[in-house]
Amino acid sequence: MDSSSFRSGFVAIIGLPNVGKSTLMNQLVGSKVAIATPKPQTTRFNLRGILTGPNYQIVFVDTPGIHEARDLFNRLMVEQALRALEEVDGVVWVVDASDRRPQAEEKILEIIKRAEKPTILVLNKIDLIKKGELLPMMDYFSRAHPFRAIVPVSALERDGLEELVQEIVAMLPEGPAYYPPEMVTDQPERVLAAEIIREKLFLLTRQEIPYSTAVVVEEFREDPEKNLLIIQATIYVEKDSQKGIVIGKGGQMLKKIGTLAREELEFIFGKRVYLDLWVKVLRGWRKEERLLRRLEFPYF
């Protein structure tokens, strides 16, 4: 193929919390690159997912949900999302068609206008709305901003994704492939392992617990003779009471988190995994820069 007809570029996936950004990226890439849960603010830092076709390579940047942030940690999350807009060739704005939040959407629209990057609007979760609601919604958004395209999809059902990929490729400049064609993410394996553990925490614990936890993988090594991956990770919480909840009665909660995480990690890495989890208290980690550095957050 003539290399001059190859298109490539970086595309930020932005939107409010919990609109399906991570699910959309995973479905587009065809692999679990970003964790996804029904809770808002699951994504904490920009993650890259890579989709390579015969004449294109799209590098998706999945960003934290843009929200009114109060503490230092959440402000840094939102700053990450906004910084991604400066460094990409195009933007995909994901809106939850089944749960419209006009005031918050208006703020994101202002951000998009300021960024002055070609933008595709994705109306996600169309499987959850009545057919008659879609056209007025598309009409409303087409008057609000000159989007490159407005594409209705259901990320979960994989509906509309082919058309979305075509629109994204058309938006990208001609250029080289940035990554080998078989790569689906540039995320280190130990970061992916930490994220999978955190996903299980999000899914199994309630109220403030998921937001008060951080996971650091201390050890990640292979034992080739046993075809075994040895992972030792620490779950950090902010209070002693939270430590008790994460461990659970007789260690049951921690065991459940570990079992679910291990099963998924074995599937992802294609080998047996020995997973050793510890829980420690690190008071106020969301509020202090030095503690965020210690927890290896990629903000600094």
Which residues are annotated as part of the binding site for GTP? 15-22, 62-66, 124-127
Calculate Rg over the CA atoms of the chain: 20
Annotated binding-site residues read: 15-22, 62-66, 124-127
DSSP assignment, residue 223? E
Measured CA to CA, the distance from residue 49 to residue 23 in angstroms comes to: 11
Distance of CA 138 to the CA centre of its chain: 25
Measured CA to CA, the distance from residue 145 to residue 154 in angstroms comes to: 22
Q: HSE-up of 84 (CA within 13 Å, CB side)?
A: 30
Backbone dihedral region for residue 174 (phi beyond 0: left; psi -120 to 50: alpha; all else: beta):
beta
Measured CA to CA, the distance from residue 263 to residue 39 in angstroms comes to: 22
Per-position b or e across 136-150, b if 16+ CB within 10 A of its CB:
ebbeebeeeeebbbb
Query: What are the contacts of 35-38 at 24+ separation with CB within 8 A?
Result: 35/195, 35/196, 35/198, 35/199, 35/202, 36/199, 37/199, 37/202, 37/203, 37/210
Nearest to 231 by CA among 277, 196, 195, 164: 277
User: Quick check: 123 and 99 in contact, CB under 8 A?
Assistant: no
